[in-house]
C-alpha cells in the first residue's frame, strides 16, 4: 500500500469521508446541493485525493480558494463537466481560463465586477457569478447600501450570469448564543429581497458552513458549503453543545485523516540526561526514547511539546522541543516498542485515539489549523 515507503504520511479514509458526506446528503431536500469545500489542500487531506473520491461519488460542485486549486482539480481525468466555485477573487487575467475550466466566481466588490466584465467581453464568454453579501464579518461582499448600485451595474453589464448569492457567518461556531447569526440571516434575507425587487433572483442561494448546516436548517437554502464536518470534525465544542441543546446531536462524524510515521531509532538515555534543543527536558530515570522523523516543518506544531503519540496502542509523551524534522517520544513504559514501529500522531491506534481537537487545545489553536497546516508535500494515501 505504501508504495514509496514514506517516513511520514497521511491516510485518508474513503469510508469515513463517504459516511460524513452521506449524513448530509441524506438530509438534503429535493433541489438542494452539497458543495464540498476543498480549499487549503482539502483541509490538509489532499486536494486531488479528496477531489477524486468525491467525484467518484458524483459530487460535481466544489468550493475552492485559489485559481491554482481550480486548475489542479480540473486537470484530473475524473473532472470533466465538474464545476468549481471560487470563494475568493482570482487575478483578473486568469478569469477566461477559469471559466473554461468550469469555475464560478464569487463577486465581492465593484472593482471585481469591472474586471470580470472586461474579461468576459474580451473572451466572449459568459461568466457565472455568485454575489457575496456582507452581513457581519466585514471581510468580503457588498453591503446593503451598495446593492442598488450593484443591481444597476449588473443590469447594464454583458457577459455575466448571476447564478448565485451568498453570505458567511461571523461567529456561528464560536458561541452557543446565536443572536448575531440570526441578525445575519435577517440581513441576508433583506439583501435578497432588495435584489429581487430589481429583478435579480439568483438560482443558488447559500449561507451554510458546517456549523450553520448542522444547527440551522433555515440557512440551507439551495446549497450547503461544507468543509470541516465533511472531514469528520465538529466546527467547535460550542457547535456540539448547541447541537445537543437542539436535539441534533445524533450526527456521528468520523474523522477522515490519520497521520502516521515510524520510529526511526530507539535510544537509551540515562537518568539525569538533558534531551533535545534547549535542554528543556531532563530524564528523571533511565528510559528509552523513540526518534520520529516528523517536525514542525511537517506541520506538527512546535507548541505540541505536551502532546502524546500512539505506539503499540499506547500513549507515548513527546519529550523536549519539537524540531524542524524530528521529535522525541518517551518509550520507557512501552518496552516492546521497536525501531520501525508504526506511530500515530493524529488518529486511532488500538483502542486509543489522538484527535486534532486534542492537539489544537495543546497548541492553543483550532482543529481547522491543525489539519490545514499539515505539510501538503507529505503523501496522502486513500485507504478503505
Give CA–CA dist 118/124, Å, rounded: 10
Q: Is residue 132 flagged as an active site residue?
A: no
Give CA–CA dist 46/7, Å, rounded: 17
Tell me whether residue 138 or residue 285 sits nearer to ligand PLP (CB atom): 138
Asked if 219 and 235 count as a contact pair (C-beta separation under 8 A), the reply is no
Q: Which of 39, 296, 300, 368 is catalytic?
A: 39
DSSP states along 133-193? B-SSSSSSSB-GGGHHHHHHHHHH-SSEEEEEEE---SSTTT-S--HHHHHHHHHHHHHHH
Q: Which positions from 73 through 92 interact with ligand PLP, judged by CB under 6 A?
A: 87
* Stretch in the footprint of ligand PLP (CB under 6 A) among 26-34, 226-234, 237-245, 349-357: 226-234
Contacts of 31 (CB under 8 A, 6+ apart): 222
Residue 257 binding ligand PLP, by CB under 6 A: no
- With 0-12 / 13-18 / 19 or more C-beta atoms within 10 angstroms meaning exposed / middle / buried, residue 9 is middle
Tell me whether residue 39 or residue 260 sits nearer to ligand PLP (CB atom): 39
Residue 227 binding ligand PLP, by CB under 6 A: yes
Residue 168 binding ligand PLP, by CB under 6 A: yes
Q: Which of 183, 267, 277, 368 is catalytic?
A: 277
Distance of CA 214 to the CA centre of its chain: 16
Kindly tell me which residue out of 37, 86, 120, 243 binds ligand PLP, with binding defined by CB under 6 A. 37
Kindly tell me which residue out of 21, 38, 99, 226 binds ligand PLP, with binding defined by CB under 6 A. 226
Tell me whether residue 130 or residue 308 sits nearer to ligand PLP (CB atom): 130
Contacts of 293 (CB under 8 A, 6+ apart): 7, 8, 261, 262, 264, 325, 326
Shortest approach of ligand PLP to residue 207 CB, angstroms? 9
Q: Is residue 39 flagged as an active site residue?
A: yes
Tell me whether residue 228 or residue 345 sits nearer to ligand PLP (CB atom): 228
Q: Tell me which residue has its CB nearest to ligand PLP.
A: 227
Asked if 45 and 67 count as a contact pair (C-beta separation under 8 A), the reply is no
Backbone angles phi and psi of 61, in degrees to 5: -135, 130
* Stretch in the footprint of ligand PLP (CB under 6 A) among 7-15, 141-149, 222-230, 295-303: 222-230
Residue 235 binding ligand PLP, by CB under 6 A: yes
Residue 220 binding ligand PLP, by CB under 6 A: no
Residues designated as active site: 39, 277
Amino acid at each position: 500500500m505504501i508504495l514509496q515507503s514514506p517516513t511520514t504520511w497521511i491516510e485518508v479514509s474513503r469510508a469515513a469521508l463517504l459516511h460524513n458526506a452521506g449524513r448530509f446528503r441524506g438530509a438534503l431536500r429535493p433541489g438542494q446541493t452539497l458543495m464540498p469545500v476543498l480549499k487549503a489542500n482539502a483541509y490538509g487531506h489532499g486536494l486531488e485525493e479528496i477531489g477524486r473520491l468525491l467525484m467518484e461519488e458524483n459530487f460535481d460542485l466544489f468550493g475552492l480558494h485559489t485559481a491554482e486549486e481550480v486548475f489542479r482539480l480540473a486537470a484530473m481525468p475524473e473532472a470533466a463537466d465538474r464545476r468549481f466555485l471560487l470563494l475568493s477573487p482570482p487575478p483578473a487575467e486568469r478569469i477566461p481560463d477559469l471559466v473554461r475550466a468550469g469555475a464560478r466566481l464569487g463577486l465581492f466588490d465593484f472593482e471585481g465586477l469591472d474586471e470580470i466584465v472586461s474579461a468576459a467581453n474580451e473572451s466572449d464568454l459568459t461568466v457565472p457569478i455568485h454575489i457575496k453579501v456582507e452581513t457581519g464579518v466585514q471581510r468580503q461582499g457588498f453591503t446593503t447600501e451598495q446593492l442598488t448600485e450593484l443591481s444597476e451595474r449588473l443590469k447594464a453589464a454583458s457577459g455575466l450570469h448571476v447564478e448565485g448569492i451568498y453570505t458567511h457567518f461571523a461567529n456561528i461556531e464560536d458561541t452557543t448564543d446565536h443572536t448575531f447569526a440570526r441578525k445575519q440571516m435577517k440581513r441576508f434575507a433583506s439583501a435578497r429581497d432588495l435584489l429581487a425587487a430589481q429583478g435579480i433572483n439568483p438560482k443558488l442561494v447559500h449561507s451554510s458552513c458546517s456549523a450553520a448546516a448542522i444547527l440551522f436548517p433555515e440557512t440551507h437554502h439551495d446549497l450547503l458549503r461544507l468543509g470541516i464536518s465533511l472531514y469528520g470534525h465538529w466546527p467547535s465544542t460550542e457547535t456540539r453543545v448547541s447541537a445537543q441543546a437542539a436535539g441534533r446531536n445524533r450526527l456521528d462524524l468520523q474523522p477522515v485523516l490519520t497521520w502516521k510515521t515510524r520510529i526511526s531509532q530507539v535510544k537509551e538515555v540515562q537518568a539525569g540526561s538533558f534531551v533535545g534543543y534547549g535542554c528543556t527536558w531532563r530524564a528523571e530515570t533511565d528510559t528509552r526514547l523513540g526518534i520520529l522523523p516528523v517536525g514542525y516543518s511537517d506541520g506538527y506544531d512546535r507548541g505540541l511539546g505536551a502532546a502524546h503519540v500512539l505506539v503499540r496502542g499506547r500513549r507515548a509523551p513527546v519529550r523536549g522541543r519539537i524540531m524542524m524534522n524530528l521529535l522525541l517520544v518517551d518509550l520507557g513504559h512501552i518496552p516492546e516498542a521497536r525501531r520501525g514501529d508504526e506511530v500515530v500522531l493524529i488518529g486511532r491506534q488500538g483502542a486509543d485515539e489522538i484527535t486534532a481537537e486534542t492537539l489544537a487545545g495543546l497548541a492553543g489553536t483550532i482543529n481547522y489549523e491543525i489539519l490545514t497546516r499539515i505539510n501538503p508535500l507529505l503523501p496522502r494515501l486513500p485507504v478503505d
